Each structure stands twice: as structure tokens, then as C-alpha cells.
Structure 1
């Protein structure tokens, strides 16, 4: 096996034959798969070392739009202290959510899918393939019991994990039916061997943005709904062409779908005799002007790109112009804010103007590798505000000022408050974090990067968590 591949002129890749190259890349792939399996083993052991305590709740996934939470692994897997996953995500260079998924998959495989787990450890099933199965069994609806998960495990392990998404869904559906996990449906055919699991969904893949500024949408519709939508898109595309659009058919159908989302529902609900002029706006565009935009005379000259606050994505200026061109678009231009100005107030509560400045400066939660939008975050006092300082005639150590405020999502705000994680602002929008185990990270507007310590942290000097 080739241990290293040196650069040009050093007996490296250029000197390898075709056969050598194939052997080398196969070796690297095998090493990668072994390392992925080792990560699962280590993640499970990390979970073993961090059971929930009285001051730390068990880790779980929140379900958007509801108060319901889903566990990181299914029934029969051990619980894990929620705050320990931030430390793991930090050293992996991933978000806390990604670390939560890694630990959840490891526990799901070890405790509920033991046959598949054994095949991963033996190198017969790649870790990524086993994790896909674990993700499905963890979040099945209704939840799988240990027996039902064992049924899926036996079927998948029999084919060394080689099942596609459709096959896996059928296996889960069969497990739900076989173990009577679904609520009885009076209209269901008791002789039907295939469980009626509703597959309908509409998913917008907002993490996969094309350089042209587009997103992919995936949907599973009722047949009648699909036929109606197809007709509506065909009609909309034809209308756009009749109005002079030179775009290809696919682009016109895509634009027609956007038109449906913005106007069709409002028009239908308004009724035939309604006053269309007082309908709510089809789209609202809020423009924030910053001092980093150039100025030429009395006109503001923006660069060719802007930043979309939702998702923190760059957008082309031409796209913004198109968004604003619709006659039913509401355009709001926010007052100019200098993101480098130091604003302050004598109160503990953060005024709207200061909050807006901090939100626009930080863009996301400032915890390492967290990408939650700042607008939905708490505004935290980096240096704790002393509510009794004024009464005692002491200077306020943690004032409500731009230089002492940062955006933290609710989870990382709680983590900062109740654990030994600490951070400080080194310059506007730039933060240095230190974990309980002494690992340090720099977070700025370009992202997160680890700070190499001058010497390894001393485990005996790790501070104990702060108790509420």
C-alpha cells in the first residue's frame, strides 16, 4: 500500500502506472470506509460517557412547527446529555445537529440494528449505507419498537445493507403492519398486504442552491392533484409565452409554479367579485442598505451581488430587480445602518435598533459551525449583565452595547449559560470560543476555524459545568 502521495518531481502521482493508481485509490477508499466505521464506534462511546444528568436534558430533535420532539435514536437506545454533543461537533468541524445525528445513528445501529452494526464493524457494509437505514428507522412514523426495528435489521442485513430508499420504506411499512403499530383504519382492507403509508410530501431542498440562484423542489402528490398541477403549469407556461416570454418551456413552467404560489390561492379565496387592489402583496422584499455599498454622487452603487438573509445566500442584483418588478410586490427599504458603529443603552433590554444592527452584523448564530439565521436567535450579553450593579453604585460589567452583544440560537444560548463553554468578541462580528475540554475556535463572517493550541489542554483543568 502506498503510504503517501508526494508532489511533482518527488516520486509521487506522476510516477504511478495505471494499475498503481487503481490500487492506491482503492486503498484510500477502504481507509475512508474504515475511518467512518471507527467514527461511529467512537461516537457511541462518547455517548456512553455522557448520560443525562439532572441539570442536562436528553438530546432530541425538535420538530418544526410543533412542540413535539423526536429522540436521536429509537426505543431501547440509551439517552445522551444534550450539551455534550456541541463538544463533539466542534472537534469534527460540524454543527451540533450533525454531531447529534452521528451519535444517534451510532446508538441506533449498536442497540436496535445489531446485525447491520456487526457488518459495519466487519467492513462488509459501508458506514454511510448503514446510517441511511438508521436514519429511516429512527424517524419512522409511527415509531418502531425494538421488535419492529429488529425485523428491519434482519431483512437489511440479509442483503448486506444493499437496499434502496423505496425498498427500505416498504420494509418499514411492513414492520409497522406486522407489529400492529399503526392505528386501525376502518376503511383499510384487512387483506391488503401492503401498509397504507401516506407518501405525499412537498420538499424544497433549500440547502442545495445552484449557482444560478435556483433550488430543487421534490413532491409526491395525489394523482388528481398532480394532473391538476400539470395542467395549471402548462396553462401558465403558455400564458407567459403569449405575453412574449422567450424562456424555454421548463423555465416557463417553473415561473408559472411561482406565480401559483404568490397569487392563485389569494385570487381563489377572494371570490369573483372581490376588490383585487386590496389583496395582500404577493411577495415582500426588504432591502437593507449598508455602508459597505459604494457611493457615486447622489446615487448608491451596489455591487453585482447581494445577500439573502434567509439561508445566508448570495443573490445576483438582476434577481433582486426581477423580484421587485412584479406589480404586487411590496418593497421595503430599511434605513441605512453602519454595522461598525458602537451603539449602547443603559437598560438591560436590547432596543430594536441595536438588535437589528447585531442581527445584520452576525447573520447567524455565532456558535462554532452553527448556521441558524440570526433573526430567529436570542441576543446575548457576551459579558454577563449585572442587574444589581446600579443599586450598589458599581460600574456595569456587561452593558447593553454593540461590542458586548451577539446572536445565539436558543440551544447554544442555554449551552453558554449552563456549561463551561466561554467566548469573547475580539472585533466586531469575530468571536473566539473555548470548549470545556480546552478546544478553541474562531468564528467570523467567513465561517468557523479551529485555533491550534500552543500545547494540548490539560484534562485536569477542565472547568465543571455551571449549574443554574
Structure 2
């Protein structure tokens, strides 16, 4: 790519960025205006008051305008007819306008910190609406908890992260309902093997495909056991030269597992000597402080949850390989680990304030665990893949003849396989690759972050909370000028 072509390409990228920023600002202004319109058509009553219950209205009231519960508990009710004005102005259906107004009310009255960032153009409207939809069923206090913890990273938080925090808030502020829902969900578990519906590859020719669909809903611990076993057998099949397609090998693995276990699992067995079962292995990365271990604060009084004001410990932090990250109830962990055929491995949390290094190229487990605990996701801009399954990349290329200690917690960063390959091998038409480096706090850069530079020269700052664009480096000062 010659210099002129490169300049044109840069101008095109700049135009995309400028117009995107203008569109975001306009969308934010329109969203705030929708909230203002809804605020002008509210009642003194709020969601949760008995008077707003639809069943208590008489037929005469229902014939005219009525107030709808569009936000969560504590938000004001909104006049139904005002939504039609929004639908007409937006050129959308009433249902779409109703959802929009509901999200605006939720953010305005129950998530004010996030709403302020949307109004300032710092958070995309779609991100704010995604958060509002996750908090709609929470109590007023729980929604405030999510607002305080998400507001500063609302521009970078992913949907699953928001869902996990909303679930944690529900468990903290309404533990009885959370535990009841967990037990109720046990009745939703099922496994269906649709033997009566054999698939066809082509419905026109009727070619028999000879496959059936399998689907179900499992307890998380059971699902982890199944995933680990399927992945292990699929790898064995690959080592034996089976089909290179991983999806096909995983489907074959279930059949292999069934044949290996045939005759072992049966309802007719000696109670005194039941058949041998494979032991379940539960690996827990423990995130506990001294107060959580002892149940007291400074060994004096009972531990009080600073968020809820309640005593006791209701939640456990789950950070297990292959499992979704987040909080679960202590009762659920107890149900996983209480069985006599379960092996529990507890790993202490790594002290992220200390560094470690070795001389070899491959990092030992203690360093790998440290790096993945510090960086929960791939460090490529906007990537959300978990670091648990990512490669560990030497930011400064490893040199067999170089200095000792190159494999360190400061020089290793998780990159998913796609971005690791792109960073290592993908040279663009400009003759440049994606490169990154740790930030330098002495140069007024944020600590504990990396700065990526694209082949086009654009820069992005990535920290454990997410990604944001980063300005280009300033001009180098001329030492000959005073």
C-alpha cells in the first residue's frame, strides 16, 4: 500500500469514526427526550403500590387512559396513551415504543448513574437498555446495587457480566426468593433424545440423514461433568485419527460414553454394594476474606454485609475452569460438594500485587493462574473470550538466548487463539501488524492496562474492565526549543 492509498484509507476510517460518534450522540439525545416525555406523563403512584394493580381497576377506568407499570419497583407508572405519541414519532410499533419507554423509565428512576452517562454520550443507548432489561425484576435496592457497580464500566460491560451482577444483586437483596427460584428450577431439568424424529438432509429428496436431536437442561455441576467427559473423549477420538471436525467428534463422544458405561448404571443393584461411580471433581477458586472465613468482623461482632446490612454469608464467588463466572448461593455449592463421591479441590486466590517469573518459555501453573486471574478475558480490543481457555502470549517476544525471567506475570497476557494468530502471523497490506505493550503510569497512562496499535495506527486501551479508544501519542518535544 503506497503513501497516498494509506492516507485515503485513514481518511475513510476517520470518517466512519466521526459519523458513528455523531449518530451515538443523536441517539442518546433522542433517548433522553423519550424519558423526559414519559416523566411528563407519570402518576404519583409507583410500581408495587396496590392501587396500580390492573385487576383492581373497574371497567370505566379501563375504557380510557390507564397507567402502566413499565419500570421495576419504585419507578412511577406511565400513562398508556403517551406511548402512542412516541410510536408515531419513532415510526415504530406500539409494542416497540412501549419497550423503549420502559427502558427509559427504568434507567431514569432506578439506574440514575448509568442514565447520566448515557445523557453525557459516554455510554451507548443499546448498552444502557440491555442493563435496564436485566434489572427490571430486581428490588429497588438491588437495582441501585447494579447501578453503582456497573456505571463506571457501563460502556464496556458485556451482557453476561451484567446478567451475573443482576443475579448476584437478587441473591443479596432478596435471598429467600432466589433460593426458592433455584429449587423451583430443579423441576425444569430434563433430557430429551428424539428417537421418533429421524432427521433428513434434504426434505425435497427425502435423503435419510440418520441423526436425531438431543437437548435438555442440566444442573450446572452435572453439565460441567458432562462437558469435561465429552471434551476428553472427543480429544481421544481425534488422537486416534477420527474425523477432524470437532463438532462431529463431540457428538460421537456421547455414544462412546454410553457404550463404555453400558451395564454399569442400573436400578437393580445390591444396596450394600452399589456400582462404582466416577468421582466428581469440583475445583473451587476461593475468593474469601478473613471475615468470610470466621463469620465475624475483626473477631468481635458478627459479619455484616455492607451492601444489604444483613448478617451472615449468602454468596460464594464461582471462578471454576469451564464454568460461567459469577456468584452462586452457598447452599448450591454445598449441594455440589456434599456428596461422598465428590473430590473437592480448593485453590487459594493469587496475590495479584506480587510478581513472579521463571526462566523457561512455558509458564508453570502458578504463573498461568496469576495471569488469568488478573486478566479474565482475552486482552485484544473488545474481545470477550475467557482467559481460562486462551493462550498466554509473551508481550515482549521470548528469546532463548535472552535475559532470564522473560516468562513473568508482567510479560504474559491471555490471547484467544484467533487473536494470538493474528497478532503473531497476520501482516497487513501496510507491512504492519497489531502490536501491544503494557501501559506506563510514569507517562500519565492508566496502570494495569495495555495499549494496542492497529496496522492503521489507531490505538485502544484495554484493562480488566474492557476496551476504549486511546488517543495517538503526542508530538515529541523539540530539545532545541526553549
TM range (shorter): 0.3 to 0.5
